Every structure is written in C-alpha cells, then in structure tokens.
Amino acid sequence: MVQIESYSSRLTKKLNVIEERMMVLLDLSTIKEFRTDPNSIVYAVSPPYYFADSDENQTRIQAELVGVFSEWVKHIHLLTQNLPRNKKQEFKRLEVSVFKWIDRSGGLW
C-alpha cells in the first residue's frame, strides 16, 4: 500500500531543505567588518559588518534558494489566503526579509 504524505508534511520538508541550503550558504560566506576612518568628518550609521562579494558557488546556491523559496512561498500563499490582513502583512515582511538575506542586501547578515 502506498503511503500518502500530507501537504503540510511536504511543505515542512521543503522548508527544512531551504533552511539547510541557507546554512550552507552562510558557511560559505565571508563576512567583513566595515571600518570608518577615525579622522574623517563623515560619520556613517550602518551595520559594522557586511557580506563579501559572492563567488561562483555562492551565486549558484543563491539562485537555487530563490527558486526553491519562491515555490514554497506560493504554496504558503495558497494556504494563508484567508488570513486577516495584519497576518498577511507580517508574513510578507518575513518573506521580503528572507529574500533580502538570500540576495545579501539590506544588511541582514
């Protein structure tokens, strides 16, 4: 007899794969420190660390993550279409944060 896996179980497994790939990307990443010139009259208010430029392997993982996460988000949108507006907005903020982290923009290292 064929065992049928539930939809939520499949989404959870995909999320675990996304998490695993994000950890691989983080492990491969180089984080640099931004140092300001103490004699400069310009003062920058920004995070003191940033991601170094991506190499070929990191870029490949980023592209893979964007595809897998986008697919996962589409499924979640189907499941959450009847949520209250504030919950949808909260999920959208989280979604944007994850995409920014994958893209390494927005200072979310």
Mean pLDDT of the chain: 86
pLDDT of residue 104: 80
Q: What is the pTM of this model?
A: 0.77
Specify the pLDDT at position 46: 65
Residue 75 tokens read as 């499924």
Structure tokens at 52: 């170094």
- Give me the pLDDT at residue 36, please: 66
State pLDDT tens for residues 51-71: 778 889 999 999 999 999 999
What pLDDT shows up at residue 68?
96
SS3 sequence, 43-79?
CCCCCCEEECCCCHHHHHHHHHHHHHHHHHHHHHHHH
SS3 82: coil
pLDDT at 42: 66
Contact (Cβ atoms closer than 8 angstroms) between residue 58 and residue 25? yes
- Which pLDDT band holds residue 37 (cuts at 50, 70, 90)? low
Q: Which residues pair with 51 in a beta bridge?
A: 31
pLDDT of 33: 75
- Sign of the C-alpha dihedral, residues 95, 99, 102, 105? negative
